[in-house]
Structure 1
Amino acid sequence: MPAPTHELIASPFLGKYLVLRPGDSSGVKVQAHHYLELGQRASTRAPLPGWLRDAARRRWGLDLADRTTDEALLIRKESPYGHGRASYEVNNGCNWACNHCVYGAKRHEGLAWPARARLLHILCDAGVLWIELGGGEATIDRHFLETYALSYDLGMMVELLTNGSTLFRPRMLELLTSRRPYRVTLSIYGATEETFDGFTNRPGAFRKFMRGLAAAHEAELPLSLSVVITEKNAHEAPAMRALAERYASRVREYTHMSPTFTGGAEPLAQQAPEYLHSRTPFTGCDAGHTSLNVSPFGLATVCKVSRDHPIPLLKEGVAGLARLGGISDRALQRHSGCSGCALQKSCTTCMPLVTLYRKAGSPLDRYCQHA
Structure 2
Amino acid sequence: MHELIVSPYMGRFVMVKPGRKEGGTMPAYLYRELAETAPTSPCPDWLVKAARQAWHTELEGRPLAPAVLVRDDPGLGYGRASWELNLGCNYDCEHCYLGIKDFAGLELPERVRVLHTLRDAGVLWLQLTGGEPMVDRLFTETYAAAYDLGMMLTVLSNGSRLFLPKVLDLLTERRPDRVTLSVYGATEESYDGLTRRKGAYRLFKKGLDAGHEAGLPLSLSMIVTRHNAHEVPMMRHIAERIGAPMEEYTNMVPTIYGGDETLPTQSAEHLRRRKPFTGCNAGHTFFHVNPFGRASICKVGRDPAVDLLAEGVEGLSRLGAIADSLLLRQGGCTGCGLQGTCGTCMPLVQLYRKAEAPLATYCQHREKEESV
Task: Please indicate the TM-score interval, normalised by the length of the shorter structure.
Answer: over 0.9
2:258 and 2:355 in contact (8 A); partners too = yes
Question: Where does residue 34 of structure 2 map in the other structure?
Answer: 38
* Structure 1 counterpart of 2:22, from 26, 31, 48: 26
Write the letter of the residue equivalent to 2:347: P
**In structure 1, distance between residues paired with 2:289 and 2:295:** 4
Q: What is the aligned counterpart of 1:206 among 201, 205, 226?
A: 201
Percentage identity across aligned positions? 55
Determine the C-alpha separation between the residues in 1 that align with 2:225 and 2:288. 26
Alpha carbons of structure 1 residues 98 and 257: separation in structure 2 relative to 1, 3 Å: same
Instruction: Please state if 1:217 is matched with 2:212.
Output: yes
Query: Contact 1:188–1:226 (CA<8 Å) still a contact in 2?
Result: yes
Distance in 2 (alpha carbons) for counterparts of 1:281 and 1:294: 26
Structure 2 unaligned segments of length 5 or more: list them: 367-372
CA-atom RMSD in angstroms: 1.1
1:117 aligns with 2:112: yes
Q: Which residue among 246, 262, 265 is the counterpart of 2:260?
A: 265
**Does the CA contact (< 8 Å) of 1:225 and 1:248 recur in 2?**
no
Output aligned runs, 1:354-369, within 5 Å.
354-369=349-364
Q: Is this contact kept in 2: 1:53–1:64, CA < 8 A?
A: yes
How far off is 1:346 after superposition? 1.8
- The one-letter amino acid of 1:14's match is M
Query: 1:1-371 counterparts in 2 under 5 A?
Result: 4=1, 6-41=2-37, 43=38, 45-371=40-366
Instruction: State the alpha-carbon separation in 2 of the partners of residues 282 and 209 from structure 1.
Output: 34
* Counterpart code for 2:232: A
SS at match of 1:266: coil
Query: What is the rounded CA distance, in whole Å, between the counterparts of 2:179 and 2:243 in structure 1?
Result: 10
Quote the offset at 1:115 in angstroms.
0.9
Look up the equivalent residue of 1:181 and give its one-letter code.
P
Deviation digits for residues 263-287 of structure 1, max 9, x if unmatched?
Answer: 1101111000000132221111111
**Aligned residue type for 2:10:** L
Shift of 1:152: 0.2
- What do the CA deviations read for 1:107-130 (whole angstroms, capped 9, x no partner)? 100001111111111111111111
Separation in 2, partners of 1:293, 1:147: 16
TM-score when normalising by structure 1: 0.97
C-alpha contact (below 8 Å) 1:184/1:224 kept by paired residues: yes
Give 4+ residue runs of structure 1 displaced > 6 Å after superposition: none
SS in 2 for 1:186: strand
Tell me the alpha carbon deviations over residues 153-172 of structure 1, each in whole angstroms, 9 at most, x when there is no partner. 00010000111000001111
CA contact (8 A) 2:304 2:322 kept: yes
Q: CA deviation at 1:44?
A: 5.5
- How high is the TM-score relative to the length of structure 2? 0.96
CA deviation map 1:28-63 (0-9, x unaligned): 10111000111222x162221222222212211222
> Across the two proteins, how many residue pairs are aligned to each other?
366
Which amino acid in the other structure matches residue 31 of structure 1?
A: P
1:56 maps to a residue whose letter is A
Deviation at 1:102, TM superposition (A): 0.4
Displacement after TM superposition at 1:338 (Å): 1.3
Match of 2:262, SS state, is helix
* AA partner of residue 310 (structure 2): K
Q: Distance in 1 between matches of 2:120 and 2:359?
A: 42
